[in-house]
Chain A
Amino acid sequence: MMLDNLLAPLRKLGHSTINAVWKLGVMSRFLLAIIAHSGQSLLRFQLTIREVYFAGVLSLIIIVVSGLFVGMVLGLQGYNTLSRFGSADALGALVALSLLRELGPVLAALLFASRSGSAMTAEIGLMKATEQLEAMSVMAVDPIARVVAPRFWAGVISMPILAALFNVMGIFGGYLVGVVMIGLDEGTFWSQMQNNVDLHFDVINGLIKSLFFGIAVTLIAVFEGFDATPTAAGVSSATTRTVVTSALVILALDFVLTAFMF
């Protein structure tokens, strides 16, 4: 009895470890299943376009507004710090580099996870709870091909576009604060940026990052929805898990990708 109490925490640790590994395995098999069944979503591209509308187009407003504000804050904070060292001229380079390399892909992915990822999970989870997925199987329609794969590809397509737009809006916000509001020289702002930003190293690598984030976030979202307990409480906890896991995975993946790229 005493020994049992002592061993309980260890048993719990072992159980959660096995669970985590099991989930990772199921998720990778799920990814393979999506890729294997994505023929239909690419042939009937209309399905995917519809999901791009819901995942990508409807996220435009939040991406534009938050990109603008992040850029403006970067402009203000960067100016304060840089002017302390007498190098306020480098503001353009600071804003562009921090957005292109880190903030653009990461923040756009976090916003995308909380806006579109959670919606995907809730939708698929509710389809499961109301037995629509089973009904499809009965009608010999593969739910992975019909429901999951189009959403997955829509997320993978939308994410780099949203990240690029976020970068542009952020740079515009930095320009508004640095040049229009504070009054730095416009030519210096752009030329410092152009001298310090490299197309392959900064722009392309940032977009590759956002592509990886798109794959990770959408995979988590559709998996949690497909895996949800088919009850109201189950769908709600699956939605929460999507947002939390996506955020953690984005940040961890960001570290790994940065270590490899830069």
Chain B
Amino acid sequence: MKRSIIDLWVGIFVAIGLASVTFLALKVANLTPQSNNNSYTLIAEFDNIGGLKVKAPVKSSGVVVGRVSNIELDTQRYVARATLTLDGQYHFSRDTSAEILTAGLLGEQYVGLVQGGEEENLKPGDRLQLTSSALVLEQLIGKFMTSFAEGNNKAAAADAAAAETAP
């Protein structure tokens, strides 16, 4: 076999390998080179972030406008502080509210932003004033059980009272 043909084939082979790795990185793992110059961060504090993870999307009206870039616990006040990195082309007013929502019944959790009415926009590094925590299923069931039991107790008490007052 001639040397130049072998060289050519090995070159093709290595090129295929590089193309495969590039495909895996860009299309499968979605490593999009982020234009960091253009993005800005906001801080949102939640009592409970539930299952929110770093890299979770930030959506407004269902459109992805950024990602959660960091989550940490504020040890002074014991609230979770999430750093949201938003795309520079989207701006939100100062009374924008953030809530943690779930996509689908058991889907991933994301941060939803609802635009407020104020004229002035949030500046980079600002803190969102209005936040609502994630719904935790156990707490929800717990609340439901308590109110259900209370309802039952009241009904029973009313019944007993009715039985007493009756002659």
Q: Could you mark each residue 28-69 of chain B with 1 if its beta carbon is under 8 Å from any beta carbon of chain A, else 0? A: 111100000000000000000000000000000000000000
CA distance A198 to B28 in the complex (A): 9
A164 on the B face (CB < 8 A): yes
- A50-B6, A168-B20, A194-B30 in contact; A199/B25 too (CB < 8 A)? yes
B7 on the A face (CB < 8 A): yes
> Could you tell me the distance in whole angstroms from the C-beta of A74 to the nearest C-beta in chain B?
14
Pick from A52, A190, A203: contact of B10, CB under 8 Å: A52
Please provide the chain A residues from 143 to 183 with a CB less than 8 Å away from any CB of chain B in the complex: 158, 160-162, 164-165, 167-168, 171
The reply to whether A53 and B10 contact each other, CB–CB distance below 8 Å, is yes
A42 on the B face (CB < 8 A): no
The reply to whether B17 and A164 contact each other, CB–CB distance below 8 Å, is yes
CA distance A50 to B28 in the complex (A): 32
8 A-B pairs closest in CB distance: A161-B17, A194-B30, A164-B20, A199-B29, A168-B20, A53-B6, A197-B29, A57-B9
Nearest A residue to B16, CB-CB:
A165
A: which residues have CB within 8 A of B?
46, 49-50, 52-53, 56-57, 60, 96, 100, 158, 160-162, 164-165, 167-168, 171, 190, 193-195, 197-199, 202-203, 207
The reply to whether B3 and A164 contact each other, CB–CB distance below 8 Å, is no
The reply to whether B28 and A100 contact each other, CB–CB distance below 8 Å, is yes
Q: Which B residues lie within 8 Å of A53 (CB)?
A: 1, 6, 9-10, 13
User: Interface SS of chain A: helix, strand, loop or mixed?
Assistant: helix
The reply to whether B27 and A190 contact each other, CB–CB distance below 8 Å, is yes
B126 on the A face (CB < 8 A): no
Q: Which B residues lie within 8 Å of A198 (CB)?
A: 29
Nearest B residue to A49, CB-CB:
B10
- A100-B24, A195-B108 in contact; A161/B16 too (CB < 8 A)? yes
Q: Which A residues lie within 8 Å of B7 (CB)?
A: 49
Nearest B residue to A90, CB-CB:
B107
The reply to whether B20 and A161 contact each other, CB–CB distance below 8 Å, is yes
The reply to whether B28 and A171 contact each other, CB–CB distance below 8 Å, is yes
The reply to whether B17 and A167 contact each other, CB–CB distance below 8 Å, is no
B23 on the A face (CB < 8 A): yes
The reply to whether A167 and B24 contact each other, CB–CB distance below 8 Å, is yes
> Could you tell me the distance in whole angstroms from the C-beta of B53 to the nearest C-beta in chain A?
11
CA distance A50 to B7 in the complex (A): 8
CA distance A96 to B30 in the complex (A): 12
The reply to whether B24 and A46 contact each other, CB–CB distance below 8 Å, is no
The reply to whether A60 and B16 contact each other, CB–CB distance below 8 Å, is yes
> Could you tell me the distance in whole angstroms from the C-beta of B12 to the nearest C-beta in chain A?
8
Q: Which B residues lie within 8 Å of A60 (CB)?
A: 13, 16
B137 on the A face (CB < 8 A): no
The reply to whether B28 and A57 contact each other, CB–CB distance below 8 Å, is no
CA distance A111 to B87 in the complex (A): 45
The reply to whether A46 and B3 contact each other, CB–CB distance below 8 Å, is yes
The reply to whether B24 and A168 contact each other, CB–CB distance below 8 Å, is yes
> Of residues B7, B10, B25, which shows the largest number of chain A Cβ atoms within 10 Å of its Cβ?
B10
9 CB-based A-B contacts, threshold 8 Å: A49-B6, A53-B13, A57-B13, A167-B24, A194-B30, A197-B28, A197-B29, A197-B30, A202-B29
The reply to whether A161 and B6 contact each other, CB–CB distance below 8 Å, is no
> Of residues B7, B17, B31, which shows the largest number of chain A Cβ atoms within 10 Å of its Cβ?
B17
B163 on the A face (CB < 8 A): no
Please provide the chain B residues from 100 to 134 with a CB less than 8 Å away from any CB of chain A in the complex: 108
B14 on the A face (CB < 8 A): yes
CA distance A184 to B31 in the complex (A): 24
> Could you tell me the distance in whole angstroms from the C-beta of A107 to the nearest C-beta in chain B?
15
Q: Which B residues lie within 8 Å of A50 (CB)?
A: 3, 6
B21 on the A face (CB < 8 A): yes
The reply to whether B31 and A57 contact each other, CB–CB distance below 8 Å, is no
CA distance A136 to B13 in the complex (A): 31
CA distance A60 to B20 in the complex (A): 13
